[in-house]
Amino acid sequence: MSKLLEGVRVLDLTNVLAGPFCCHQLVHMGAEVIKVEVPGRGDLARQLGADTELNDRNMGVSFLAQNAGKKSITVNLKSDKGRELFKSLVETCDVLVENFRPGVMKRLGVGYDELKRIRPELIYCAISGFGQDGPWVHRPAYDQIIQGASGVMSVTGNGESGPLRVGYPVADTAGGMTAAFAIAAALNSRPRGVLLDVSMLESVLATMGWAVSNHLIAGVAPRSHGNENMTSAPSGAFQAQDGLINIAANKDQQWQLLAQHLGLDELLTMPKFATREDRKTNRMDLKRRLETVLATRPARAWAKELNRIGVPAGAVLTVPEVLNMPQVADRGFLTWFEDVPGTERDIELVSTGIKLDGKAPTAATPPPMLGQDNEQIWAELGYSSQDVRRLTQDGVL
Catalytic residues: 172
User: Exposed, middle or buried by CB within 10 Å (0-12, 13-18, 19+), for 58?
Assistant: middle
298: CB partners within 8 A, 6+ apart: 240, 241, 242, 243, 315
- The single-letter code of the amino acid at 222 is P
> Does residue 33 contact residue 70 with C-beta atoms inside 8 Å?
yes
Cis peptide upstream of residue 163 (ω within 30 degrees of 0): yes
Q: Please, which residues bridge with residue 32 across strands?
A: 9
